[in-house]
Amino acid sequence: MSRMALPIVTRGVCPHDCPDTCSFDTTVVDGVATRLTPVADHPVTRGFLCTKVNRYLERTYAADRVATPLKRVGPKGTGEFRTATWNEALADISLRLKSIVDSHGAQSILPYSYAGTMGLIQRESMSARFFHRLGASLLDRTICASAGTTAWMHTYGSCDGPGAEEIGENELIILWGTNTLTSNPHLWPAIRKARDSGATLVCIDPLRTRTARAADIHIALRPGSDAALALGVMHVLFRDDHADAGFLNERAHGWEELRDHVLTQWSVERAADLCDLPPQEIHMLAKRYGSTQRSFIRFNYGMQRHLGGGSAVRAGALLPAVTGAWRHPGSGATLSTSSAYLFDKEALQRPDWIPVGTRRINMNQLDEALTKPDAGVGGPGVHGLVVYNSNPATVAPNSVAVRSGLAREDLFTVVIEQFMTDTAHYADWVLPATTQLEHHDLHAAYGHHFASLNTPAIAPVGESLPNSEIFRRLARAMDFDDPEFGQSDVELIELALAGADGHLSWEVLSKVGYERVQPAGQRHYTTGRLATPSGKIECVADTLTDYGLPALPDFIEPLTWQQTTPGSTELTLLTPPQHEFLNSSFANIPRLSKAAGEQTLLMNPVDAQTRELNDGDAVLIANDRGSFPARLIVTPDARPGTVAAFGLRWAGDGSTGVNAVTGSGLTDLGRGATFYDTAVTVGHR
Ligand SMILES: Nc1nc2c(c(=O)[nH]1)N[C@H]1C(S)=C(S)[C@@H](COP(=O)(O)OP(=O)(O)OC[C@H]3O[C@@H](n4cnc5c(=O)[nH]c(N)nc54)[C@H](O)[C@@H]3O)O[C@H]1N2
Ligand SMILES: Nc1nc2c(c(=O)[nH]1)N[C@H]1C(S)=C(S)[C@@H](COP(=O)(O)OP(=O)(O)OC[C@H]3O[C@@H](n4cnc5c(=O)[nH]c(N)nc54)[C@H](O)[C@@H]3O)O[C@H]1N2
Ligand code: SF4
Ligand SMILES: [Mo]
C-alpha cells in the first residue's frame, strides 16, 4: 500500500490580462495540483476567483495541452503535425531563422506577442533580449490600451488612481466603458460597500450589460460619443459653479481656456445630439457629479476602441480635476495603476541592444504586415514570425486577411503555446509552454497596487518549458553567447525587483506572495510636480498638437459615422469580452464554452423589425472584410443602431469569429485598435 504524500500548498497569482491580478494557493498532492484556492485575506482577491480561473486546473491538465514540440506535416491551417524532440525543433528553427536573416535581413523576422501572461518574466524578458540581439523588427503592442493610456499620460504625466479596494467610501461611482462584473469583478466588493452607505452607481455603456443592469442609472449613449458626453457634463460643471477653482488654480494648467471652450462650444444640447441622449440625462449626470465631492470614475478600455478613443479618455479624465474629486483619498478616477510599479523592465528586456533604425510594426496592422510585404508597414517583407502569449488569428482585427497572411507558404512561423489555438494551426513549429502553475513569475497589476510573486507549484506538464527557457535555448541554438542569456528566472526576478527602489522585498513577496507598492489611501495628483510639460494636470496639452489633435479636449467622429451613408442599413457592431472567456483564452475549456453557448448577436427590436428578423434566427454579420454567423437575440439591451456579439471564440465551426469584420484602422492617440468602430450589415444566413 502506498503512503499518501502530505499536501503542499504554494502561493501564486493569476497571470491573465485582467485588472484584478488575484492571488491564489495551489494544493499539490503527489506532484498533482488538486485545488486552487483564492487567498481570503488579500485585500483585493477577497476569497474569490472568477468563473474562468476557477477552471484553471482543468485548463492546466486539459487533454488538448500541447505537451511536446510539434512539426507541421500538412498544409498550413489544417492542423496536421507530428511530435518532435526539443533538439530537432531548436536545430531546425535556428537554421531557418539564420537563413531568413541571410537572405532577407533580420528585420524580416517579426515577434508577435501580447498578454497571454502578464508576468514580467514570462511576458517579455528573455524573449525581448532574444529579438533585440537578433535585430528583429520591433512590435508596437497597441492592441488593447494604448489610446487610453496615451491620453492619460498627456493629461496627468503618469497612469495611476485609486485601487480596487480603496473606493468604498465614495458617494458616487461611475463605471465608464466597462463591464465590471465580467472584466474587473474584484471592484465589486468596494462598490457594494459604497452602495450600502447610500452611494449611487452609474454605468455609461451603449449596451445594457450585466453591469448596467446592476447599476442605479444606466446611460446608454451612442458608441464613440463619450468625449461629447464628458464635454457636455463639463459645460454644466463650469456654468453652474460646480468647478473647484481652488484645486484647478493650484493643480491644473490651462483650466480657464478649458472652461471657455466648453462654455462656448459644448452646450448640453450639442452633446445630447451627438450622444443620442435626452439632454435631461446629461444634465442629471452633471448635477450629480458636480454636487458630489467624493466621487470615483472607473474608466476602462471599452470606450477607447473607437477612432476618437484617445480624445474620449482625455475628456473624461479631466472631470475629477474640474470638481477637485482628487482631493479625497479613494476618489478621483482610475484607468490604470500601471505607473505605480517601478520594476526595472529595461534590465529585463535590454532595449539598449536594439540596432539603431530598427523599424516598428504596429500589431494592429498584422494584416498588412503579412499580406502586403514591402507595403503598408515599410521596410522588408515579413518572412519569419514568432508568436508567443497571443492568438492573433482570433484576436487581431481583420482576421480574414491575417489568416491569409498566416497561410503564406513562404512565411516561417513558430508558435509558442499551451494549446493548439487557431494561430498554432498555421505554424511550422509549435513549442509547448508551461502555465502559471509550472513557472516562476513576478507581477505588477493595473487595477490595484499589489505586486505579486508566482512560485511554481508543479513540474512542467509534458515537455513544456517556460517562455524564458525556450528563448534561452533558442539563443544558444543561434550561437548568441552573451552571458545575459544565462540568467535564471529567479535572477531575472531579483533584477526586476532591484529597480523597484527598495519598495518591495524578496522576503515579503516569497512569504506573503504579494506586497503593496504604495500606501493605501493615497491622494493622487494632489501634490508635487507631475510628469507633464507644465508639471500640472494638462487641461491644455500642447504636446497633442504633434498628433494633429487640438490641445484642448475635443470630440472626434467615429469611423462608423464617417463611413456610413445616410439612410444605409449599416449598424455599429460591438464585440466586447464574453463573461466565460478571457479574450480567446478558456474558449477551449468544455465547461466554459458550454456555459457561453453559441455565438449570439444582440439586436434592438426596432432594427430587427426593419430587417424582418426574429429572435432565434440564424444570421450573418458582414461587411467588405468578412462575415461571421450568429444566433439572433432580439432585445432592448442593444440600443437602436448598435448590435453586439461577445467574443472571442475559436474557429471550431470553420468561421473566423467576430474579428472577420473588424478593421485595422488606428485610434487618434496611441495608434490603438478600433475594434468597436465597425459598421456591419445583418441578414438571414
Ligand atoms: N471575463 C473577461 N474578463 C476580461 C477580459 C475578457 O475577455 N473576459 N478581457 C480582459 C482585458 S484584456 C481587458 S482590456 C479588459 C477589458 O474590459 P473593459 O475595459 O471593461 O472593456 P471592454 O470589455 O472592451 O468593454 C467594456 C464595455 O464597453 C462598452 N463600450 C463599447 N463601446 C463603447 C463606447 O463607445 N462608450 C462606452 N462608454 N462604452 C462602450 C461595451 O459595450 C462593453 O460593455 O477586461 C479584462 N477582463
Ligand atoms: N473583436 C475584439 N477583438 C479583441 C478584443 C475585443 O474586445 N474585441 N479585445 C482585445 C484585447 S483588449 C486584447 S488584450 C487582445 C488579447 O489578445 P491576446 O493577448 O492574444 O489574448 P488571448 O486570446 O488570451 O491569447 C493569449 C494566448 O497566450 C497563451 N498563453 C498564456 N500563457 C502563456 C505562456 O506563459 N506562454 C505562452 N507561450 N503562451 C501563453 C494562451 O494559451 C492564449 O492562447 O485581444 C483583442 N481582441
Ligand atoms: S482573470 Fe481576473 S478576476 Fe479572474 S482570477 Fe484572474 S485576476 Fe482574478
Ligand atoms: Mo486587453
What does the pLDDT read at residue 330? 98
Q: What is the pLDDT of residues 478-528, one digit of tens each?
A: 999 999 999 999 999 999 999 877 778 889 999 999 999 999 999 999 999
User: Which CATH number is 47's domain given?
Assistant: 2.20.25.90
Cβ–ligand 2 distance for 143 under 6 Å, the answer yes
Cβ–ligand 2 distance for 454 under 6 Å, the answer no
pTM of the predicted model, to two decimals? 0.98
Amino acid at 650: W
Cα(278) to centroid(ligand 3), Å: 37
Cβ–ligand 3 distance for 22 under 6 Å, the answer yes
Cα(146) to centroid(ligand 1), Å: 14
User: Is 292 a member of any domain?
Assistant: yes
Q: Which atom of ligand 3 is nearest to the CA of 56?
A: 5
Tell me the CA end-to-end span of the chain in Å, nearest whole number: 61
Confidence band for 656, pLDDT divided at 50, 70 and 90: confident
Q: What is the pLDDT of residues 32-63, one digit of tens each?
A: 999 999 999 999 999 999 999 999 999 999 99
What does the pLDDT read at residue 527? 97
Cβ–ligand 2 distance for 402 under 6 Å, the answer no
User: Is 599 a member of any domain?
Assistant: yes
Task: Say yes or no: 366 and 476 in one domain.
Answer: yes
User: Which CATH number is 224's domain given?
Assistant: 3.40.228.10
What does the pLDDT read at residue 378? 76
Phi, psi at 561, each rounded to 5°: -75, -35
Q: What is the pLDDT of residues 606-637, one digit of tens each?
A: 999 999 999 999 999 999 999 999 999 999 99
Task: Say yes or no: 51 and 77 in one domain.
Answer: no
From 20, 42, 60, give the residue that closes a domain: 60
Cβ–ligand 3 distance for 181 under 6 Å, the answer no
Q: Is residue 652 scored above 90 in pLDDT?
A: no
Half-sphere exposure of 402 (CA within 13 A, CB side): 25
Strands 295-299 and 332-334: what pairing? Answer: parallel
Cβ–ligand 2 distance for 417 under 6 Å, the answer yes
Task: Say yes or no: 134 and 151 in one domain.
Answer: no
Task: Say yes or no: 55 and 113 in one domain.
Answer: no
Q: Is residue 223 scored above 90 in pLDDT?
A: yes
CA-proximal residue: ligand 3, atom 8 (nearest) = 22
CA-proximal residue: ligand 2, atom 3 (nearest) = 395
Query: Which position has the grid cell 552573451?
Result: 482
Confidence band for 307, pLDDT divided at 50, 70 and 90: very high
Task: Say yes or no: 105 and 157 in one domain.
Answer: no
The x, y and z cell numbers of residue 301, run together, are 478600455
**Dist. CA 218–CA 215, nearest whole Å:** 6
User: Residue 443 contacts by C-beta under 8 Å, 6 or more apart in sequence?
Assistant: 13, 15, 21, 118, 119, 120, 451, 452, 453, 454
- The DSSP element (H or E) to which 495 belongs, if any, is helix 489-498
Task: Say yes or no: 209 and 296 in one domain.
Answer: yes
Cβ–ligand 2 distance for 585 under 6 Å, the answer yes
What does the pLDDT read at residue 502? 72
User: Is 594 a member of any domain?
Assistant: yes
Cα(395) to centroid(ligand 2), Å: 7
Task: Say yes or no: 133 and 214 in one domain.
Answer: no
Query: Which position has the grid cell 475629477?
Result: 320
**Dist. CA 176–CA 333, nearest whole Å:** 10
Task: Say yes or no: 221 and 208 in one domain.
Answer: yes
Query: Which position has the grid cell 530598427?
Result: 358
Amino acid at 124: E
Residue ranges making up the domain that contains 230? 147-335
Looking at the structure of the chain, the number of domains it has is: 4
User: Residue 159 contacts by C-beta under 8 Å, 6 or more apart in sequence?
Assistant: 149, 152, 153, 335, 336, 337, 338, 339
CA-proximal residue: ligand 3, atom 5 (nearest) = 49
User: Is 502 a member of any domain?
Assistant: no
Confidence band for 160, pLDDT divided at 50, 70 and 90: very high
Among 124, 192, 108, CA closest to 346: 124
Cα(517) to centroid(ligand 4), Å: 23
Q: Which atom of ligand 3 is nearest to the CA of 50?
A: 4
**Distance, C-alpha 38 to centroid of its chain:** 23
Residues 383/353/532/312 CA torsion (nearest 10 deg): 20
User: Is 266 a member of any domain?
Assistant: yes
User: Which CATH number is 637's domain given?
Assistant: 2.40.40.20
Task: Say yes or no: 137 and 235 in one domain.
Answer: no
Q: Which of 24, 49, 184 to mutate to test the pocket of ligand 3 (most atoms within 8 A of CB)?
A: 49
Phi, psi at 616, each rounded to 5°: 90, -10
Q: What is the pLDDT of residues 78-94, one digit of tens each?
A: 889 999 999 999 999 99
Task: Say yes or no: 42 and 189 in one domain.
Answer: no
Phi, psi at 389, each rounded to 5°: 55, 25
From 472, 487, 502, give the residue that closes a domain: 487
Q: What is the pLDDT of residues 415-438, one digit of tens each?
A: 999 999 999 999 999 999 999 999
Q: Which of 39, 45, 50 to mutate to test the pocket of ligand 3 (most atoms within 8 A of CB)?
A: 50
User: Is 382 a member of any domain?
Assistant: yes
User: Is 505 a member of any domain?
Assistant: no
**Dist. CA 421–CA 112, nearest whole Å:** 15
Q: What is the pLDDT of residues 184-216, one digit of tens each?
A: 999 999 999 999 999 999 999 999 999 999 999
Strands 642-644 and 571-574: what pairing? Answer: parallel
Cβ–ligand 2 distance for 349 under 6 Å, the answer no
**Dist. CA 388–CA 120, nearest whole Å:** 14
Cβ–ligand 2 distance for 395 under 6 Å, the answer yes
Q: Is residue 76 scored above 80 in pLDDT?
A: yes
Q: Is residue 375 scored above 60 in pLDDT?
A: no
CA-proximal residue: ligand 1, atom 44 (nearest) = 179
Q: What is the pLDDT of residues 376-426, one digit of tens each?
A: 577 889 999 999 999 999 999 999 999 999 999 999 999 999 999 999 999
Radius of gyration of the CA atoms of the chain, in A: 25
Phi, psi at 401, each rounded to 5°: -70, -40
Cα(17) to centroid(ligand 4), Å: 6
From 17, 34, 60, give the residue that closes a domain: 60
Confidence band for 77, pLDDT divided at 50, 70 and 90: confident
CA-proximal residue: ligand 1, atom 22 (nearest) = 302
The x, y and z cell numbers of residue 622, run together, are 458582414
**Dist. CA 283–CA 241, nearest whole Å:** 14
Q: Degrees (nearest 5) of the Cα angle 357, 359, 361?
A: 160
CA-proximal residue: ligand 1, atom 24 (nearest) = 302
Cα(659) to centroid(ligand 2), Å: 13
Q: Which of 469, 585, 589, 667 to mutate to test the pocket of ligand 2 (most atoms within 8 A of CB)?
A: 585
Q: What is the pLDDT of residues 169-182, one digit of tens each?
A: 999 999 999 999 99
User: Is 517 a member of any domain?
Assistant: no
Q: Is residue 1 scored above 50 in pLDDT?
A: no
Please say whether the beta carbons of 270 and 227 come within 8 A: no
Cβ–ligand 3 distance for 49 under 6 Å, the answer yes
285 C-beta neighbours (distance < 10 Å), count: 22
CA distances to 209, 341, 439, 452, 501 from 508, rounded to whole Å, are 40, 16, 19, 10, 15
Q: Which atom of ligand 1 is nearest to the CA of 229?
A: 38
The pLDDT mean for the chain works out to 96
Cα(39) to centroid(ligand 3), Å: 12
**Distance, C-alpha 184 to centroid of its chain:** 12
Task: Say yes or no: 296 and 158 in one domain.
Answer: yes
225 C-beta neighbours (distance < 10 Å), count: 26
SS3 422: coil
**Dist. CA 574–CA 558, nearest whole Å:** 13
Write down how long the chain is: 685
Cβ–ligand 2 distance for 62 under 6 Å, the answer no
Please say whether the beta carbons of 227 and 309 come within 8 A: no
Among 679, 532, 549, 563, CA closest to 147: 549
Q: Which ligand is nearest to the CA of 220?
A: 1
User: Which CATH number is 127's domain given?
Assistant: 3.40.50.740
Cα(215) to centroid(ligand 3), Å: 22
Q: What is the pLDDT of residues 85-139, one digit of tens each?
A: 999 999 999 999 999 999 999 999 999 999 999 999 999 999 999 999 999 999 9
Task: Say yes or no: 323 and 391 in one domain.
Answer: no
Q: Which ligand is nearest to the CA of 14?
A: 3
